Chain A
Amino acid sequence: EPEVTQTPSHQVTQMGQEVILRCVPISNHLYFYWYRQILGQKVEFLVSFYNNEISEKSEIFDDQFSVERPDGSNFTLKIRSTKLEDSAMYFCASEGQGFIGELFFGEGSRLTVL
């Protein structure tokens, strides 16, 4: 069964460092998302990506965040200068054309900022 894969599963970094979280969505999917979940809180939408551009982003997704799909398979989330409050589980998801709301999620990347 096709699946979304995320790397790394866990990353520990120092405040102020750059972090790149990687995702390989399901190959024929067209819509891509990043969500995050701070421990004990809701799963929050960060950004959606379609047709090689951001289609929507949340207030959380400020100038420190960026996404790209560099090679047609990977979908990355970059945090330029991490803050303590960026510590969270980050989930990548992809969605096929016409499958409304049927997101396929990866297992998540846990980011710990010290």
Chain B
Amino acid sequence: AQSVTQLDSQVPVFEEAPVELRCNYSSSVSVYLFWYVQYPNQGLQLLLKYLSGSTLVKGINGFEAEFNKSQTSFHLRKPSVHISDTAEYFCAVSRQGGSEKLVFGKGTKLTVNP
């Protein structure tokens, strides 16, 4: 079975500061990795995904994440955040192979302050 740990439940930052949201996973098989974002009163939306190839993955809204197999991590980063990035961010994992279910972490609430 797969599991995901998001180490920070809340991350407050100031506008234009860099941010890193941490994610570690556990799995006995090869996996795909994802970050989803949920803005207030909306559904989850895919930010980026790692399937294979380059370990640095770029997503929407200037976010990127790096897959580190040895550390079983997939941390999300943005060099300069905006107020509009305030949202909840979910890391997720699925078994490789096809349309497999996603296993989510508990989420990290990012609050960007002016």
- A interface residues, Cβ below 8 angstroms from B: 4, 31, 33, 35, 41-45, 48, 50, 55-56, 58, 91, 93, 95, 100-108
Contact = CB atoms under 8 A, between A and B. Distances in A.
A4 to B, nearest CB: 7
B104 A42 contact: yes
Contact of B102 (A41, A103, A106): A103
Given A41-B106, A50-B99, A101 B43 contact: no
Contacts of A43: 44, 90, 104, 107
Contacts of A42: 104-107
A91 B32 CA distance: 21
Interface of B: 32, 34, 36, 41-46, 49, 51, 90, 92, 94, 98-107
A104 B107 CA distance: 18
B82 to A, nearest CB: 22
A45 B101 contact: yes
Contacts of A45: 101-103
Contacts, number: 59
Contacts of A41: 106
Contact of B44 (A56, A58, A100, A105): A105
Most buried by B among A44, A100, A107, A108: A100
Nearest to B9: A40
A56 B100 CA distance: 9
B94 A107 contact: no
A71 B9 CA distance: 41
A103 B42 CA distance: 14
B51 A100 contact: yes
A33 B94 CA distance: 14
A106 B107 CA distance: 18
